[in-house]
Amino acid sequence: MPAFADRLADSVRRHGPLCVGIDPRWESLPAAIRASVAALPPLDRLAKAYEVFGRRVLELVRPHAGVVKPQAAFFEQAGPPGLDALQRLMTAARELGFVTILDAKRGDIASTAAAYADAAFAAEPAPVWDADALTINPYLGRDAVEPFLTAAKANGRGVFVLVRTSNPGAGLFQDLVCDGKPLYRHVAAAVAEWNAATLGDCGLGDVGAVVGATHPAELKELRAAMPDVWLLVPGYGAQGGTAADVKAGYRADGLGAVVNSSRGVTFPFKPDDPDWEAKVSAAAAKASAELRP
């Protein structure tokens, strides 16, 4: 299997940089899907509805996107049945040819981090999430990140390290100025260093960074600070980032960023709208066209 960075480059060249986030929310789901699971126990009801909706969204967006990013939190909210559904959805995405990013923002130390990394990437003793990439949190430091890098390398996978997140309160710690530059720049420097050992044929590496679209100046600054690093850019669409904003994350060769849209692509309808599938297709087509380099 080619390195993660090269597989992602191939996908972006063929399908553009749109990444569709699968963040199912019960209250936003099509009424028909909710009705179809009404007889199940509470957590099974959520899990089944999330899986049915997620699978249909995968099919609808397939012509317009090469990357999908299921959000682990919503599946965890549906308990063990939800995590079963997440596992089946990851398999379905892979079988449809998507590059898969599991958005779980994991982080822990030593053998505990290795356990999360094996859940994400390893085939032994049996695959769990089998993701192409996993989002991870850098707060615990070097030896908390390294087990993820080791497992990614061993399995041809990648990680995206949180650097500058898209939420309004992100700056509380990320913007603190330490030794003359903000904390997020220190994290960016570490990511660039970890990534440097992993460069693929495409010129980018397997250790990416999460940089929100809601801070275009910082996105541009971070693109320059980490020229060989894949960026995962959330915050486009429903969170307020425009297509022009996110293009600051692209390199001159058109590679270098995947841009996530969750609600904007997957929930452009009211629950009782009989045309919801057409609206998802149209929203994916529009986002895909807007985001082309």
Catalytic residues: 105
State in angstroms the smallest separation of the CB of 168 from a second copy.
Answer: 6
Alpha-carbon torsion, ordered 288, 282, 264, 92, to 10 deg: -80
Q: Which of 2, 63, 141, 274 lies at the binding interface for a second copy (CB under 8 A)?
A: 141
> How many Å apart are CA 100 and CA 131, to the nearest integer?
6
User: Quick one: CA torsion of 83, 84, 85, 89, rounded to 10 degrees?
Assistant: 100
Tell me how far apart the alpha carbons of residues 44 and 148 are, in angstroms, rounded to a whole number.
Answer: 31
Taking CB under 8 A as the rule, does residue 271 contact a second copy?
no
Asked if 38 is part of the footprint of a second copy (rule: CB under 8 A), the reply reads: no
Q: Does 108 bind a second copy (CB under 8 A)?
A: yes
Smallest separation, CB 166 to a second copy (Å): 7
User: What CA–CA distance (Å, rounded) separates 283 from 275?
Assistant: 12
Q: Are strands 181-182 and 177-178 parallel, antiparallel or unpaired?
A: antiparallel
Q: Of the listed pieces 1-9, 42-50, 246-254, 280-288, which binds a second copy according to CB under 8 A? A: 42-50
> Could you say which residues in the range 247-266 bind a second copy, by CB under 8 A?
none
Using the contact rule CB under 8 A, the part of the chain among 125-133, 201-209, 253-261, 283-291 near a second copy is 125-133
One of 4, 50, 53, 74 touching a second copy (CB under 8 A): 74
Q: What share of the chain is helix, strand, coil (3-state, %, to 5)?
A: 50, 15, 35
- Tell which one of 32, 35, 42, 97 touches a second copy (CB under 8 A): 42
Tokens in use for 74?
Answer: 């919503």
What Rg do the C-alpha atoms of the chain give, in angstroms? 18
For a second copy, the binding residue among 139, 275, 278, 289 (CB under 8 A) is 139
Residue from 100, 155, 165, 260 in contact with a second copy (CB under 8 A): 165
Q: Taking CB under 8 A as the rule, does residue 273 contact a second copy?
A: no
Q: Check binding of 224 to a second copy (CB under 8 A).
A: no
- Size of residue set near a second copy by CB under 8 A: 62
Query: Which structure tokens are listed for 36?
Result: 């179809």
Q: Which residue stretch of 5-13, 93-101, 186-194, 277-285 sits at the interface with a second copy (rule: CB under 8 A)?
A: 186-194
Secondary structure (DSSP) of 154-221: HHT-EEEEEEE-SSTTTHHHHT-EETTEEHHHHHHHHHHHHHHTT--TTS--SEEEEE-TT-HHHHHH
Residue 215 contacts a second copy per CB under 8 A:
no
Quote the CA–CA distance of 11 and 96 in Å, as a whole number.
13
Measured distance CA(3)–CA(23) in Å, rounded: 27
Binding site for a second copy (CB under 8 A): 23, 25, 41-43, 45-46, 71, 73-74, 76-80, 83-84, 87, 105-113, 115-116, 118-119, 125-126, 128, 137-144, 146, 162, 165-174, 176-179, 183, 186-187, 190
